[in-house]
Structures are given as structure tokens and as C-alpha cells.
Amino acid sequence: TSPRAINNLVLQGCSSIGLRLVLEYLYTANVTLSLDTVEEVLSVSKILHIPQVTKLCVQFLNDQISVQNYKQVCKIAALHGLEETKKLANKYLVEDVLLLNFEEMRALLDSLPPPVESELALFQMSVLWLEHDRETRMQYAPDLMKRLRFALIPAPELVERVQSVDFMRTDPVCQKLLLDAMNYHLMPFRQHCRIRSNKKMLLLVGGLPPGPDRLPSNLVQYYDDEKKTWKILTIMPYNSAHHCVVEVENFLFVLGGEDQWNPNGKHSTNFVSRYDPRFNSWIQLPPMQERRASFYACRLDKHLYVIGGRNETGYLSSVECYNLETNEWRYVSSLPQPLAAHAGAVHNGKIYISGGVHNGEYVPWLYCYDPVMDVWARKQDMNTKRAIHTLAVMNDRLYAIGGNHLKGFSHLDVMLVECYDPKGDQWNILQTPILEGRSGPGCAVLDDSIYLVGGYSWSMGAYKSSTICYCPEKGTWTELEGDVAEPLAGPACVTVILPSCVPYNK
């Protein structure tokens, strides 16, 4: 092998932090470990076949086992096949929990994130604590069981592992909790989605990649803020782009779109699916009454609304309303004009629709829908015609970002960011333009920023895989570390709370 080849040696799977700490050991016979770095050091030591470092990592993990660190230690042990560490952690957790008093046990069940990875494990841990001193502790069973979310336990395990516990059948409070959970699983359309976590995460759903095949993606990806990377969460039941995604009580509703690219809407769909992040599962809901792509969908109170779009018949003005309680679709007042590739947002109980394409012409229109009166009203036009853009709400303002418009026969990126004040019915152009042209990105609001993922840049002639975010308070744009799995246009974005142990598809 030539010296040049050696100089360009690539160590696959070795992080810079892990490699630096392993080299530290090779030079000093000491290594500095923490729970944040031990997994990376362990990976590098196994790749480079340095058993002394591997042994130190395992010993460190064993020493770190506690109620607080249990889940993190078990996760690392599972990734690296450390069976003895897993057994030791389980043994320690049981012994440690059994010594807690009632107040400490109650606090443990209320903690976020929980010390174990499933609600069933929490239940079994609670049963062990109660059984350890049955005479004294059984009086606390109803109080502790109220703190568990039995609906998070799959129905078969409720029958086999929960119902089989005696006090769950004999205590009236526990009986009702079990019955409520059983009934919950029998009525999937009326479920709520409570997750033992408090951190919202950014999700990207579907989208159209570049290339001659132009088959939309079926991936659902999430952004891991700690690792600064996008990961695959799950796979949709079908491929889709130019669809809509709506979050309802932490369920993910995916509506319409197209399963193949066609400029005339030939492959538009009326599919509606709901994703449950607790069980990593999908169910099919009643389809929309019309096929539609490049439309807008949102939730208002107990209803979903789908507005405009396109299909094989052309541009649509129709608006459909889905009742979340009765599981039925109906028509409501149509848009004043057929529109596709428009953007929308909800503010103060009303739906705003901006821009879009009307019979082949890009428009600057703004409409407002009042669901109580079932009427549309024309509002002040945007300063710029635009379509395939985004509309986001923050601090009682609507922000129109991205998209493009036509000049002659050429598509031009819209770089201006506009802000709308609903009270004054007035648009203002902001001083800070978008970082780069983005048509058809996924858009979501998280914390104090508006996120745009993917999209197409007409000036660059390229599909995008990066994520940019705008902070209205600071008036600044930044780009996130880490790209999505492939460049995409026409994806959809949403924020949801995922379980602390994400069941992502490997």
C-alpha cells in the first residue's frame, strides 16, 4: 500500500470524541469516561480491538448503575450486547426500589422521563414494591396505580400480565383503571395519546426526491437534537408527497397527497392514516370525499379541515371537515376561488389561506375562514405573489416564507419574508430575507423558531436536504446540523412528543 493510501485511511464508525479518548488511554494508560462519552469510547475500542478499554468501559457502566441512570445504562448495554451489565442493572434497580418509602415510590412513578422504558415495566416494578411488604404497603396500591398510564400497555399484555395480578381484580379503583384501559383499546377512533415524555420533536413525513423515477418517500424521520442528526422513526403505509400532516393530541394524521409525481394531479389520493407513536402503529381512517394534493389541512377544536388542492379534475375550491368524534367527513363552505399550492395557518380560531396558484396564475391573496359562521372573507393581499410556500404563526403574527413565483416562463425563488398582523389586517416585509430559496419545504414551529426542512431551490436548480430555522424574536436565520436521509420537495413537517425510548425503524 502506498503512503498516500495510508494517510487517507478512514475509520468507519469511529467518532472523533471516542477516538481521542482511546488515544488518550494508549498514551497515558488512563481514560476519562462519562455517561455522555462511554458509548462512543466503547464503539471505538471494539472497532480497534482494544479489550483493555472495553473492559474499563464495562466497569464504568456497572459502577454508574442507579435508579436515575438505569435506562441509559441499559440502552448502552443493549446496543453493545453487555448481558452481564443488563442483569446487574435489573438486579440493582429492583433492590434499590424495594427500599423506597411510599412518597419516594410515588415520586419515582411521576418522574419524567421514567426510570424504565415501558409502562408495563413500571407496573411490574410497582407490584414488586407492593409485594415486598404486602401487609403495610398494599393500602397504597390504588394511589400508585392511578399514576400509571395503562392505556400505554398493549391490550394482550393488559390481559396476560396486568389482569392476572390479584389486586387489579379485587380493588375497586384498580378494577376501574383496568376496565378503562380495556375500553380504550376497543375504541381506536376515540383514543387520546398520552406519552411519558415532555419534549416535542420535529418530524418530517414523506416528500419527493430528485431523479427520473420520482417515487415519493414513505419515511417518517425525526430530528435527534442531542445527536444533531435526522433518524428514521417509522415507515408510512404508502408513499406520499404534497400531502398534509396534522397533529391531534399527539397522534399524527397523514392526509392526501400523491403516490406518484404528476403535474396534472393524476395520482392524487384521498387516503387518511393515523400514526400512534406509543405503539409505532398505523390505522386507516375514512378517506376524504375528494382526492387532493398540494392543499392545506389543519385542526380546529374537534375537527380537521382540508382546503383546496388539485387532482385529475383540476384546481379545487372545495373544503371538507372531518369530525374527530363521529369519524365522518362533510363539506363546508368552499373557497371563493379554486386554489392549489397555497399555504395556511390557524390563529384565534380562524383559518388563514395565503397565495397559491389559481388556474395557472400565481396569486398574492389572503383569505380567512370563520368555522362558526362557515364563511370566507378576503383580507389584505401579500406584497408578493407566491406559491408552494409556508405560513407559520408565532406571537400573534403570520409569517409567509419561501415559495416561488413566475416571471414570464421562469420560476423565481421568493426571498422576502412577510409578516401579517391579523388585528390590523396588514402585511410588512421583514428586513431579514430567507437564507436560500425554498419551494415546497416542510414547515413547523418549535419553541421560538420556524423550521423549514427540504424543499427545492429554483436558483440552485437543486432539491434540499438541509434544515433552516428562523427566530422572529432575534430576526435571524440559522442552519441545523445534520441532513435528512435524502433531498426532498413536498414533504410535511409537524412536532409531536415521542416516547423517551423512540421505537425508530432500524
How does pLDDT run across 159-211, given as a tens digit for each residue? 999 999 999 999 999 999 999 899 888 876 666 666 666 788 999 999 999 98
230 vs 505: which has the higher pLDDT: 230
Q: How far is CA 247 from the centre of its chain?
A: 9
pLDDT of residue 3: 46
Contact (Cβ atoms closer than 8 angstroms) between residue 383 and residue 418: yes
What are the C-alpha distances in Å from 61 to residues 38, 65, 75, 95, 130?
8, 7, 11, 18, 29
C-alpha grid cell, residue 114: 421514567
Residue 215 has pLDDT above 60, yes or no: yes
Q: Answer whether residue 321 shows pLDDT above 60.
A: yes
Cβ atoms of 208 and 464 within 8 Å: the answer is no
42-97 confidence digits (pLDDT tens): 999 999 999 999 999 999 999 988 777 777 888 898 889 898 998 888 777 777 88
The yes-or-no verdict on residue 477 having pLDDT over 90 is yes
Q: Confidence band (pLDDT; 50, 70, 90) for 505?
A: very low
**pLDDT surpasses 50 at 327:** yes
Strand ranges for 256-381 from DSSP E = 272-276, 281-284, 296-300, 303-311, 314-323, 328-332, 343-347, 350-354, 357-358, 361-362, 366-370, 375-379
Mean pLDDT value across the chain = 91
Rounded alpha-carbon distances, angstroms, from residue 493 to 14, 173, 252, 254, 343: 32, 41, 10, 11, 13
Write the CB contacts of 440 (distance below 8 Å, at least 6 apart in sequence).
Answer: 242, 388, 454, 455, 456, 489, 490, 491
- The number of CA neighbours under 13 Å toward the Cβ of 379 is 24
List the end-to-end C-alpha distance of the chain, in Å, as a whole number.
36
pLDDT for 1 beyond 70: no
* pLDDT above 70 as % of the chain: 94
Among residues 381, 423, 418, 424, which one has the least CA distance to residue 403? 418
Q: What is the rounded distance in angstroms from the CA atom of residue 23 to the CA atom of residue 12?
A: 16
Comparison of pLDDT for 132 and 344, the residue scoring more: 344
Task: Give the max Cα distance, the chain.
Answer: 84
Model confidence over 356-413: pLDDT tens digits?
999 999 999 999 999 999 999 999 999 999 999 999 999 999 999 999 999 988 999 9
Report residue 6's pLDDT band, with 50, 70 and 90 as the boundaries.
Answer: very low
The reported pLDDT for the residue numbered 8 is: 53
pLDDT at position 504, please? 45
Delineate the domains of the chain, giving CATH numbers in brackets: 3-96 (3.30.710.10), 100-186 (1.25.40.420), 200-497 (2.120.10.80)
User: What's residue 11's pLDDT?
Assistant: 64
Residue/partner pairs of 356-361 with CB below 8 Å, 24 or more apart:
356/308, 356/387, 357/315, 357/387, 358/315, 359/315
Mean pLDDT in residue range 441-458: 97
